[in-house]
Amino acid sequence: MIPTKEEWMDALIARHGSKLHELFSAATVAVCGLGGLGSNIAISLARAGIGKLLLIDFDCVDISNLHRQQYKASQIGQCKTDALAENLLEIAPYTDIKTVTVKLTEDNFAELLKDADIICEALDNAEAKAMLVNGVLEQLPACFLVAASGMAGMDTPNTIKTRKIGKRFYLCGDEVSDVEGTIGLVAPRVMLCAAHQAQTILRILAGKYEE
Amino acid sequence: MVKVNGVEVDAAGKTVSEYIATTEYDSKRIAVERNGDIVFKSQYAVTVLEDDDRLEIVSFVGGG
């Protein structure tokens, strides 16, 4: 039996307090890229009661994703946007979700992301990451940006960290572990980085961005 | 001297492009902040570094 919206919100208020709940539920967060980072980030944010999630990815769920990304075997072949929206609504049924199935480029990102309070960069390609980060910092200076670099391989979990780079720009990861030259991405280390990004987003919304 | 990612570097007088060319950084994979503000990609070639500037170069690696 799925709880009513009122029961759901009351449960979140009981956990977070009404002030934090208001801040979380009023927020719009864009998650750019729905792979190992983005799918985990979106789940944490939906559970925390973030009001509106904008989910962007151009890709479909592939068998090679399932060792680390939050999809199911039954979803292979589905667009990641649709599959993740489905999973999120099973977890947190009252989340307002908007999906855009498109590849982010220099020409479309500003229009797609302009209404977000916080933009989360969760892409996988290094040049695409740099494109989006530069683009957001140049063209959307009012947004907060939480990006990631370096979470591949079997290295220690303890080097994944969050660093404040600029006034509204945070970077999570170990900043060195490239997917090339390692065994690739493994679920826990990607989840650690995703958790850093999600927690940083919640902290920004809570007004704790002094670090 | 210019402080690049916390390290003193003799780069005053160089443009951002000229300085990056002396390093291992791939200009397609970086973002550069100078004294807390983003340096626009289009301005790398004309932004001249000055003594006491603080430069933060973020280099992205693949994976996500």
CB-CB under 8 Å, A36 with B62: no
Residues of B in contact with A35 (CB under 8 A): 64
What part of B 2-61 touches A (C-beta under 8 Å)? 28-31, 33, 36-38, 40-41, 56, 58-61
Question: Rg of chain A over CA atoms, in angstroms?
Answer: 16
Point out the residue among B28, B36, B40 whose CB comes nearest to the CB of A166. B36
Residues of B in contact with A38 (CB under 8 A): 64
Alpha-carbon distance B43 to nearest alpha carbon in chain A (angstroms): 11
* A190-203 per-position pLDDT tens digit: 999 999 999 999 99
What mean pLDDT do residues A153-180 have? 95
* A3-60 per-position pLDDT tens digit: 999 999 999 999 999 999 999 999 999 999 999 999 999 999 999 999 999 999 999 9
CATH of the domain at A46: 3.40.50.720
Does residue A54 lie in a domain region? yes
Q: Could you list the residue range(s) of the whole structural domain that residue A64 is in? A: 16-205
CB-CB under 8 Å, B37 with A175: no
* A121-150 per-position pLDDT tens digit: 999 999 999 999 999 999 999 999 999 999
Does residue A68 lie in a domain region? yes
Phi, psi at A177, each rounded to 5°: -75, 95
Q: CA of B41: which chain A residue's CA is closest?
A: A134
Does residue A141 lie in a domain region? yes
Report the complex ipTM. 0.95
Q: Is the pLDDT of residue B43 over 80?
A: yes
- What is d(CA B42, CA B62) in angstroms, rounded to the nearest whole number? 24
- In this prediction, residue A211 carries a pLDDT of 56
Does residue A2 lie in a domain region? no
Domain boundaries, chain B: 2-59
In chain A, the number of structural domains is: 1
Q: Is the pLDDT of residue A181 over 90?
A: no
CB-CB under 8 Å, B31 with A185: no
Alpha-carbon distance A23 to nearest alpha carbon in chain B (angstroms): 27
* Full 3-state SS string of chain A: CCCCHHHHHHHHHHHHCHHHHHHHHCCEEEEECCCHHHHHHHHHHHHHCCCEEEEECCCECCHHHCCCCCCCHHHCCCEHHHHHHHHHHHHCCCCEEEEECCCCCCCCHHHHHCCCCEEEECCCCHHHHHHHHHHHHHHCCCCEEEEECCCCCCCCHHHCEEEEEECCEEEEECCCCCCCCCCCCCHHHHHHHHHHHHHHHHHHHCCCCCC
What mean pLDDT do residues A75-87 have? 98
Does residue A5 lie in a domain region? no
Mean of all residue pLDDT scores within chain A: 96
Phi, psi at A138, each rounded to 5°: -80, -45
Alpha-carbon distance B13 to nearest alpha carbon in chain A (angstroms): 23
Does residue A1 lie in a domain region? no
Q: Is the pLDDT of residue A210 over 60?
A: no
Q: Is the pLDDT of residue A183 over 90?
A: no
Does residue A160 lie in a domain region? yes
Q: Which CATH superfamily is domain B2-59 in?
A: Beta-grasp domain (3.10.20.30)
- In this prediction, residue A8 carries a pLDDT of 98
CB-CB under 8 Å, B61 with A176: yes
Question: For tokens 């500003």, what's the residue?
Answer: A110
Does residue A27 lie in a domain region? yes
